Amino acid sequence: MINDKLKKAREYEVRKEKEIAPDKRPAFHLTPRVGWMNDPNGFSYHNGEYHLFYQYHPYGTNWGPMHWGHAVSKDLLKWEYCPTALAPDESYDNFGCFSGSADTLDDGRQILMYTGVQSTKDEDGKEIVFQTQCIAVGDGTNFEKYEKNPVITADALPEGASKIDFRDPKIWKEKDGTFRCVVGSRPADGSGQILLYSSKDGFSWNFEQILIQNKNRFGKMWECPDFFEVDGKWLLMVSPQDMMPVGLEYGAGNGTLCVAGHLDENKHLVEEYTQSIDYGIDFYAPQTVLAPDGRRIMIGWMQNWDTCGVREDDMKWFGQTSCPREIQFVDGKLIQNPIRELSNYHKNTVSYSEVLISDCISLEKVSGRMIDLEVEIKPEDEENCYDKFVIQFAKNESFHSDIVFYPKESVLEIDRSWSGIRRAVQHQKKCKVADNNGSIKLRVILDRYSVEVFVNDGEHVMTATIYTDLEADGISFFADEICFYAEGKVKANVTKSDLEF
Ligand code: FRU
């Protein structure tokens, strides 16, 4: 049934999307059809297509009553919008249809599982908001909310867990046909934990256990969990709120965390290793899909709650998803690389080998704001290593953003201070990378309003949005010495391809 709120959103987006010129959006990072986007939701493969839903407020470029926007793609790069999938039109989700996920039922229908947020008043007239898990089922375009919603309520919470912070179910089907889901929860200690539920049919759910507890180590509440096996390890991806910085591994605010481990005999996740998922400025709430060919592919919200003020004033959309990343777990570490389909859109490839770099140089035909750029560098002379290597991009006389490598500390920095932003929020972020005697391999993906830097074949990723005037498309390189007597130069191999869609 398409009721009033959904109908209104569907009509509105069709009317208003015409006001957004296609070249004022990223080319392959999904943006909301109109208005606001946050988390990717319902990332799934259904009926021969990838589906990506997202937290959506069509009526403005700030967060508002949450709908689910929807797009489909054959290759995760060229997206086609579908009509709004969900609107907050029931009593149990009147405050919003918050984040969730999707899968396919045994009968072939698509199932969406999301958090219904209900706002009511207590006897003193004070607003209370609480969260439950809900279901909608459909044909891939239109979805009917289940008449017995909500399907997981406070009754199925372990003792002490908050009814207010209980959200973001990620559903999957086990090999034996059982559905499971993980949900973010706040226990009595005020931090986060992940709850595991199971269901035979996708509709009737039982609490199984607490999968893992944060115990106030990594931020507080854990949002948007995803849980899957890859390369023989179980990985839990979560997005903690209220992080405190820890060295260069975790930054303050909303962050991302990957916990790798194994399952004990009681199916608890036994933690073996933890790391950030992305070390840049703008990446949150990632979700994965298992592709038909077995690849585990992840997409995140290419944004951070604290940096939402970084934008152009007259934008009619806000929020984008990240480049889809292939996830692996190799030698005890998370490895992320841009999906291989990206190379299908390479055009005008140019390569330079063993270029000697000290003073600021540009290379002919190495420029642009929609490019895939590979830069592999090493010191010209290992005994006399350079102090700093810089790639400046989105550059003209007024603006530039920088990727800076300090070989002696093995630190990579992203810096968008001069990208044209007028807001005083975080513009720099540093990441500790492998010490390879001054060598480093960078793959830099630019798409109009963003940069994603994949380091050393995916060992680290740094992501940031930039809203620099699109005319600033220059790229230059230089190597610097901090001491006047050091003259270390860099030897670089550079390959650039335009990305054309
Ligand atoms: C994460 C989040 C989710 C929630 C959604 C609301 O960014 O806070 O926990 O479901 O956004 O839009």
- Place 384 in a pLDDT band, splitting at 50, 70 and 90: confident
What SS3 state is found at 283? coil
Closest ligand 1 atom, residue 223 Cα: 9
Encoded tokens for 312: 């152009």
For ligand 1, the distance from its centroid to the CA atom of residue 99, given in whole angstroms, is 6
Please report which confidence band the pLDDT of residue 423 belongs to, taking 50, 70 and 90 as the band edges.
very high
39 noted as active-site residue = yes
User: Does pLDDT of 491 surpass 70?
Assistant: yes
Which pLDDT score, from 0 to 100, does residue 66 have? 98
Q: Match 């008043």 to its residue by tokens.
A: 121
pLDDT at residue 483 greater than cutoff 80 = no
Which residues line the pocket of ligand 1, CB cutoff 6 A? 38-39, 55, 66, 98-99, 115, 167-168, 223-224, 284-285
**Residues ≥6 apart with Cβ < 8 Å to 335:** 327, 328, 329, 457, 458, 459
Identify which of 170, 9, 16 has the alpha carbon closest to the alpha carbon of residue 85. Answer: 9
Residue 76 scores a pLDDT above 90: yes
Atom of ligand 1 nearest to the CA of 99: 10
- pLDDT of 486 > 80? The answer is no
Ligand 1 center to 355 CA (angstroms): 46
Query: Is 487's pLDDT higher than 90?
Result: no
Q: What is the pLDDT of residue 313?
A: 81
* Tokens, residue 282: 């703008």
Ligand 1 mutation pick, 98, 182, 301, max ligand atoms within 8 A of CB: 98
Task: Locate the ligand 1 atom nearest the alpha carbon of residue 55 and give its number.
Answer: 12
Residue 485 has what pLDDT?
56
**Stronger pLDDT, 256 or 484, i.e. the higher one:** 256
Q: Please give the distance, rounded to the nearest whole angstrom, from the Cα atom of residue 223 to the centre of ligand 1.
A: 7
**pLDDT tens sequence across 307-318:** 998 898 889 999
Mean pLDDT of 187-206: 97
β-sheet bridge partners, residue 120: 128
Query: For residue 470, which of 81, 80, 27, 37 has the smallest C-alpha distance?
Result: 27
Distance between CA atoms of residues 414 and 279, nearest Å: 9
Among candidate residues 39, 89, 372, 447, the one labeled active-site is 39
- Residue range 142-179, pLDDT digits in tens: 999 999 999 999 999 999 999 999 999 999 999 999 99
Band (390; pLDDT cuts 50, 70, 90): very high
Best residue for ligand 1 mutational test, from 223, 254, 299 (most atoms within 8 Å of Cβ): 223
Question: Which of 43-52, 165-174, 295-304, 376-385 has the weakest average pLDDT?
Answer: 376-385
Phi, psi of 87 (to 5 degrees): -125, 155
Determine the residue of 41, 115, 167 to mutate for testing ligand 1's pocket, defined as the one with the most ligand atoms within 8 A of the Cβ atom: 167
* Arithmetic mean of pLDDT, 62-91: 98
Report the alpha-carbon distance of residue 429 to residue 416 in Å, rounded: 9
Helices (H), 27-139: none
The answer to pTM > 0.95 is yes
Confidence of residue 482 (pLDDT cuts 50, 70, 90): low
CA 369 – CA 372 distance, rounded (Å): 9
Q: What does the alpha-carbon distance between residue 373 and residue 446 come to, in Å, rounded to a whole number? A: 8
Distance CA(364)–CA(230), nearest Å, equals 41
Tell me the pLDDT tens digit for each residue of 1-20.
678 999 999 999 999 999 99
**For residues 423-439, average pLDDT:** 96
| Index of the ligand 1 atom closest to the CA of residue 284 | 7
Q: Is 475 exposed, middle or buried (0-12, 13-18, 19+ CB in 10 A)?
A: buried
